[in-house]
Structure 1
């Protein structure tokens, strides 16, 4: 199985915020944005593993700035780390006001996807090799984020989360 780089999965998705996408304040609804983010993240994950993928988890979507009616949404996604059958995807979301000609950060998040074989069972994914300093930073943090997800999901005991414990306990 080939080793891949984060740039190999890079995906940029662009949408226009229309009236049907907004709430009563004229802002893009969070659920609609999460839907678009899920699609962008799934494309990035599928590019990494060349297989169908399903969403396993969504982490801490923090909404920093609303995106207004008529603005453009840019969603950047790429795989930050590959585990055995799962991949973490980092997303950054930008709003763009075309009339005022400026871009602004809306939010970011991490999604986890599992690759599936033809029988819809989890399958191995290619390893990921970080290239840039930013790639390495996201790659290193992915293991801690994964351990936190597993603890919160009841699939790992806190005492077994060595990477997380190392942040808080100096031996």
Structure 2
């Protein structure tokens, strides 16, 4: 009978470690964030533009759509004008949905990845990001309940003239 509690504790510990790994972007199998799809952490000195983003308790980002150019490094200054904690996380829609499911199970989990910032009420934070591919990059607040309430937005990355898009091979005729 003594083994049952130990097995349960071990299973719980494994679940918590797996959940923490998912939330930090280190998905099982070592895949991490698909940062190629969304760009890469930017160098603050190379950010030629600052975009102000406001997060509110109406579960909205203002603005909820941002236009950038491929290759551009942007400094997002993210202000929380609400009374509860909010965050801005850049990712693919699939990554954001997976991460959100983990956050619902472990709501107090803290993380510090370069593609996200968690901001206390009345405070501000920053993300500096370089957008390396043309297309749409999603962002969302993954605090439990916020994503479901519609707290999401998009960065529209305009491709360079003559540069191939990430999925340009799909246009070829056989």
TM-score, with length taken from structure 1: 0.27
| TM-score of the aligned structures, taking structure 2 as reference length | 0.27
For the pair shown, the structure with the greater C-alpha radius of gyration is 2
